[in-house]
Amino acid sequence: MIRVLSPGPLSTVQDQGRFGLSRFGISVSGAVDAHALTLGNMLVGNPANAAAIEVTFGGAEFQFATDALIGITGGDLAPALNQAPVEMNQTLAVIAGDRLTFGSVRSGLRAYVCVAGGIDVPPTLGSRSTYLAAGIGGLAGRALRAGDELPVGFNDRPLHAGRRASAALVPKYGSEITVHVIAGPQADQFTAKGVETFYLSAYTVTDKSDRQGVRLDGPAIEAVGGRYDIVSDAVVTGAIQVPGDARPIVLLADRQTTGGYPKIGVVATVDIPLLAQAAPGTSVRFARTTIEEAQEATRRAIAELAGAAVEEPVLHVTNLVIDGSPFRLEMAVPRQATSQLRMTVVADGRQRIVGASSA
């Protein structure tokens, strides 16, 4: 069990989302940064679709009611375990009573707390993800609140603290990003000048952005005849709508399923995580790409993640006999240890984290 002591501005339970229900008006939802969630689950030995806690903007605090292995991925929101800073993108051992806190944003916007076994809330329509607009999934279909308790599933894989993700799999979130765009289904509803403005200008992420979409401010995008409406049709994650204010909105995980604004483009799937981690004030530029190029980039990213080598810690094992009973002392030491290490005693085939030491 994980207790929520403080959810910060927004914390929710998310997995990879619920698919195949858009025709019923049900959004895919799920983690805004699917790459970070997949990476975190890989570190703790979970299936890629296991549910985790998505923390937005930091300021959250959680307490563990049992020993566990966790991994923190995504944006750097200054995580600390019992007030001691901890590294991200590696497995960490926590002991019952430990407190995990998040401070302010250092880079990115959303962090993911993955725990071995996953967050085991009941699935709704085939997913544990929280869809806030519809009030379904997660914990009672809502954002987490202080006092909530989240059940953790069972995971018996023999993993250890100190497993690290390959550096090549950890994105660098900057204050300036470029995302690749495929021409949208209504690209011809914008003037040549409007299209040129869109691709040659820098736009700024506003504080009106949320899980539904990234709202941008910048030069106006001129539409043919000054019309910014269409007969509503389907939208997808990454679709770039241009409403009446002539500024783009990029749709994210909690997007609606249909929309009546023209879509000038669609962001390549491989670049969605960059927008997921774009905090207010981030500068965004759009670069042209083709469907074939976007598909190939996504295939490469999937292959790299699937074939990624997680760096295993060096495991030191000492066999002991205490009062006539055999014990095995295990210490998993990261190859580049810079944070806290945990010691584990295995007795009668059962594992117990018993202490900590400084690396």
Closest CA to 14 of 169, 156, 95, 124: 124
The architecture (CATH level 2) of 176-306 comes to Beta Barrel (2.40)
Q: Which residues pair with 126 in a beta bridge?
A: none
- Taking each helix axis from N to C end, the angle separating 291-306 and 34-43, rounded to the nearest 10 degrees, works out to 20
Give the position of tokens 């295939």: 299
Would you state the pLDDT for residue 355? Answer: 45
Q: Whats the size of the chain, residue-wise?
A: 359
313 and 162 in contact (C-beta within 8 Å)? yes
Closest CA to 43 of 171, 173, 157: 157
Would you state the pLDDT for residue 325? Answer: 76
Each residue's pLDDT, cut to its tens digit, for the chain (359 residues) gives: 999 999 999 999 999 999 999 999 999 999 999 999 999 999 999 999 999 999 999 999 999 999 999 999 999 999 999 999 999 999 999 999 999 999 999 999 999 999 999 999 999 999 999 999 999 999 999 999 999 999 999 877 766 788 888 888 898 888 999 999 999 999 999 999 999 999 999 999 999 999 999 999 999 999 999 999 999 999 999 999 999 999 999 999 999 999 999 999 999 999 999 999 999 999 999 999 999 999 999 999 988 888 766 776 665 556 777 777 776 555 555 555 544 555 555 555 444 544 444 44
CA atoms 314, 319, 322, 325: torsion sign: positive
80 and 112 in contact (C-beta within 8 Å)? no
Q: Over the Cα atoms of the chain, what is R_g?
A: 22
Distance (Å, whole) CA 313 – CA 165 = 11
Burial of 74 per CB tally in 10 Å (0-12, 13-18, 19+)? buried
Residues of the chain with CATH 2.40.100.10: 176-306
Measure Cα distances from 198 to 190, 205, 246, 247, 321 in Å: 10, 15, 10, 9, 71
Distance (Å, whole) CA 84 – CA 101 = 9
Measure Cα distances from 140 to 2, 20, 156, 297 in Å: 16, 22, 28, 37
Structure tokens at 293: 């190029």
DSSP strands (E only) in 167-313: 176-183, 203-205, 213-217, 233-234, 239-241, 249-251, 258-259, 263-267, 283-288
Residue type, 44: V
